[in-house]
Amino acid sequence: MTLIQTLFLDAGGVLVNPNWERVSAALERRGVSATAAQLAAAEPRAKRDLDTEARIVATTDQSRSWLYFDSVLTHAGVALSEATDAALEELREYHARFNLWECVPEEVVPCLRRFRSMGLRLVVISNANGTLRDHFRRLGLDAHVDDLLDSHDEKVEKPDPRIFEVALSRSGARRETTVHVGDFYNVDVVGARAAGLRAVLLDVAGLYEGFDCPRVASLTALADTLRG
């Protein structure tokens, strides 16, 4: 890669993950058994199922979120039912107040520090629900990034290139020295490219072989590549 001065980073699936323990507990209260480990293992394939051009064009981030949870349950071998619907409704209410994507992978803070040590400006661009800024403050992640854009507040969401244009303007970043990192090809890579940016796909389960973009299995791998 040529010189990089700014990283745009997706939030969900890159810096924060769903709290699968909370999801498992909500299911258990309705008599549905699914461990957090089972749900987490099913998540990449559920996400991959949603990541098609047709699905992304036909849905919003909010509607995709709950299709995503149904797909996670299905891939985890859990039959959809009134009980799973009730559990997901409880989780929707929690998410609206606090944000369910509240688990920070162990590599995240060390990698953000590594990126900063390379002199990179870090800007989070997330399709979110208006809770992102308070959420990152609650998790202690706000101190490790330079700015955050929540699609709810900006009134535009990825893959619309306008949210990337806002991020460029607000951060003072230059298009040619900025790279966006996300976990959905048809949201993050397609959206960033539409704004004239390079993009890297975080593909933790290796499900995007053959796609026309750089892929990394972890933020640590990205940091190693940038350092190299």
Q: Are 91 and 22 in contact (CB under 8 A)?
A: yes
**pLDDT at site 22:** 98
Condensed to tens digits (0 to 9), the pLDDT of residues 39-85 reads 999 999 999 999 999 999 999 998 998 899 999 999 999 999 999 99
pTM of the model: 0.95
SS3 131: coil
What average pLDDT score do residues 4-32 get? 98
Q: Is the pLDDT of residue 220 over 90?
A: yes
H/E element, 121:
strand 121-126
What whole-number distance in Å separates Cα of residue 74 and Cα of residue 87?
Answer: 14
**pLDDT at site 65:** 86
What average pLDDT score do residues 82-111 get? 96
Q: Is the pLDDT of residue 2 over 70?
A: no
Q: Is the pLDDT of residue 30 over 70?
A: yes
What whole-number distance in Å separates Cα of residue 8 and Cα of residue 41?
Answer: 27
Q: What six digits make up the tokens of 217?
A: 């299995």
What average pLDDT score do residues 127-155 get? 96
Percent of the chain's residues with pLDDT above 90: 96
Domain covering 6-15+103-227, topology: Rossmann fold (3.40.50)
What whole-number distance in Å separates Cα of residue 78 and Cα of residue 26?
Answer: 14
